[in-house]
Copies of this chain bind each other. A is one copy, B any other.
Amino acid sequence: MSHRFIPLTDADRAAMLQRIGVNSVSDLFADVPRDAQYPEINLPSALSELDMLRTLHDIANRNAHASEYAFFLGAGAYNHFVPATVPHLIFRSEFFTAYTPYQPEISQGTLQTIFEYQSMICDLTGLDAANASHYDAATAAAEAAVMAINSVKNGRKIIVSPTLHPHYRATMRTYLEGQKIPIVGDEDTALSLDAVLDQHLDNNTAGVLVANPDFLGNVRDLKPIADRVHAAGALFIVSTYPIALGMYQPPSAYDADIVIGEGQSLGNALGFGGPYLGIFACKEKYLRRMAGRLIGQTTDTKGRRGFVLTLQAREQHIRREKATSNICTNEALNALAACVYMATMGKQGLRQVAELCYQKAHYAAREISESRQLRELGYRVVNCDSANRFEFFNEFVVECPKSVAEINRALAKQKIIGGYDLAQEYPHLKNGMLIAVTEMNTREQIDALVNALRES
């Protein structure tokens, strides 16, 4: 029997071979070494659609998910509300099964939506230009580092803040390894950013990459840092969490040259880590050094507005080994999701999401820090200063009396996914749990977490 995904019958095949003028399909593979043909391949047998679905249900059922568990886990990926408009629109075949918009006359849908995405990212970050996406924030960070190296005359190294996401720092190292560009600054993850700059910032610095909110949830005005970085002639690169920008001042306010960020939170599923969305924006003057695709507005022969892929001369298709990046396939559909998300939430909605995150996280932190019982057990919220003032957005660190892994195992039994275990990446935060709270966490869930900590 024919396979449902291949609309050819044996009669078709015979007629086609005849038309081609060969006797059999194997004539079409005559140039493939005979002895290598048709190896035994160890795969399971074909599944019907029904059995496939059953298998997938079984597999999916082995994962704890956010419809059944209360999630207090962030660390770069966040459980935010996705309005129904997003899946409805991005899964329209016309967007979903199209390719990169090479032929603009029949790709205006993708082109205009990505142009709108670029515009919204500019508004959100305050920067001048944004590209049509990187794989994720980690690779956007690496590309930003490359861009800084290429933009700064004596740029020979990159400084990263220790509170930049550990995966981003690791990815940057892998990316820049071949080009022998050192990434410094996170040797001691307990050091403050100022101390790091004291130690490393010099005239050979191409860029300084700082997260805001940082990996531990803290937010601050980075203007003083930016000034130091600029004074040294380096580019100031900020990694951001776009939901936070619903309420906080944009990185342009503290003069960031490049902004990167993880766009997952803008309407994209958690999806066990991907596909996500690498946001990348920069100031106008660095525009032509930016990697990735750009959509530009222009006019057609009849004077009508239209959108095209532009400045392609920067890209690998044309520049080949002189391109600064090899990126080709990107995360266009995730950018579309972000675009639909921002369109649906709008100016007011994005602010409200941010404030809900802020309020709920601060409530959670307060409940934990003010619980005498938890204090006695040895729990302590780290992100509060001596005056007991909290300075974070929606994520904060709790120092626990025992291993976070152990606590999380107990929480999971109560259908709670606890916070990120900082033990490995931030050894100075012994038994540190990084707790994230979003608009998806109800007060009831937060109270349940606090209770569960008491009992765990």
- Cβ of A83 and Cβ of B49 under 8 Å apart? yes
Residues of B within 8 A of A93 (CB): 92
By a CB distance below 8 angstroms, the chain B residues around A57 are: 67
Residue of B nearest to A346 (CB): B4
CA distance A420 to B50 in the complex (A): 25
A439 part of interface (Cβ distance < 8 Å): yes
Interface size class of A (residues with CB under 8 A): 10 to 19
Asked if A84 is an interface residue, CB under 8 A from chain B, the answer is yes
User: A81 on the interface (CB 8 Å rule)?
Assistant: yes
A1, B348: Cα distance in complex, Å = 10
Give Cα distance in the complex from A93 to B92, angstroms: 9
A84 touches B439 (CB 8 A): no
Q: What is the CB-to-nearest-CB distance from A208 to chain B, in angstroms, rounded to a whole number?
A: 38
Looking at A1, A50, A348, the one whose CB has the most chain B CB atoms below 10 A away is: A50
Which residues from B are CB-within-8-Å of A49? 81, 83-84
Chain B residue with the shortest CB-CB distance to A49: B83
A1 partner residues in chain B, CB cutoff 8 A: 348
Q: Within A353-383, which residues are at the interface with B (CB < 8 Å)?
A: none
Per-position binary interface string of chain A over residues 77-117, scored 1 when its CB falls under 8 Å from any chain B CB and 0 otherwise? 00001011000000011000000000000000000000000
Q: Are B67 and A439 in contact (CB under 8 A)?
A: no
A236 CB to closest chain B CB (Å) equals 37
Within 8 A of B (CB), among A1-43: 1
The 8 Å CB contact of A439, one of B50, B81, B348, is: B50
Chain B residues positioned under 8 Å from A83 (CB to CB): 49
Query: Which residues of chain B are within 8 angstroms of A67 by Cβ–Cβ distance?
Result: 57
Q: Which of A49-85 contact B (CB under 8 A)?
A: 49-50, 57, 67, 81, 83-84
A440 to B50, CA, bound (A): 8
- Chain B nearest CB, measured from A3 CB (Å): 13
* CB proximity of A452 to chain B, nearest CB, Å: 21
Q: Can you pick out 10 interface pairs between chain A and chain B where the beta carbons lie within 8 Å of each other?
A: A1-B348, A49-B81, A49-B83, A49-B84, A50-B81, A50-B439, A50-B440, A57-B67, A92-B92, A92-B93
**Which residues in A have some Cβ–Cβ distance to B below 8 Å?**
1, 49-50, 57, 67, 81, 83-84, 92-93, 348, 439-440
Top 8 nearest A-B pairs (CB, nearest first) are A50-B81, A49-B83, A57-B67, A49-B84, A50-B439, A50-B440, A92-B92, A49-B81
